[in-house]
Amino acid sequence: MKRYAYCPVCGAPYDGSPRGTAAGHLMHCGACGFDFWQNSKPAVAAIVLRQAGGQAHVLLTRRGIEPYKGMWDLPGGYLNNGELPESGLARELAEELGTTPLEAAFFCAEIDEYPRDDVAEEARFVLSLCYRCDLPADAVLTPADDVIEAAWFPLTALPDDIAFPANRRVLAALKKNSGLR
């Protein structure tokens, strides 16, 4: 966990003293009273399916950034502070693919460690809320932001290079729970 030297609110130096039972995850500023919690980060992921050739296909995006740059991922990303998951899902699909979901239904939650060695990340774990989504039939997918490509894959022939162990678990649960093969 990253320990910061100064309070982000008032700029006073943190004294580094623990505060209560949450001391490992809380930085408290003695000058202004601000409590800086270092929690896992919430994220959303879209599970977009379509039928083609008698098979279910899932939409995956190729990552344009580290970690796992160049590997396949479920569309999605981190929630902004104060953002509801469904709003974050719509925002992420708009940013990454230039479209928004018609509707979204919660499917599952997964937690994963976010591997970053380049910076001292204050929260190493990501809680991903996964939603089954429908896109407009005429949606034109335009990869942007941190996505360099989008493609449809049969659930029976997924690529080997899928980013994040949680994504592999989500796709396995999708096949198992939906009866799709």
Question: Which tokens hold the place of 95?
Answer: 């940013």
CA distances from 131 to 19, 45, 47 (A): 37, 6, 6
Residues of the chain with CATH 3.90.79.10: 41-178
pLDDT digits (tens, 9 = 90+) for 67-99: 999 999 999 999 999 999 999 999 999 999 999
Q: Which residues lie closer than 8 Å to 170 by C-beta, 6 or more apart?
A: 45, 47, 74, 107, 108, 110, 128, 130
CB atoms within 10 A of CB 51: 9
Handedness of CA 168, 81, 68, 122 (dihedral sign): negative
The pLDDT value recorded for residue 118 is 55
pLDDT digits (tens, 9 = 90+) for 133-179: 999 999 999 999 999 999 999 999 999 999 999 999 999 999 887 66
- DSSP labels, 76-142: EEEPPTT--HHHHHHHHHHHHHS---SEEEEEEEEEEE----SS--S--EEEEEEEEEE--TTPPP-
Question: Which tokens hold the place of 130?
Answer: 């996964």
Predicted TM-score (pTM) of the model is 0.84
Question: Which tokens hold the place of 123?
Answer: 């929260």
Question: Which tokens hold the place of 1?
Answer: 């966990």
The yes or no reply on domain 41-178 and CATH 3.40.50.2020 is no
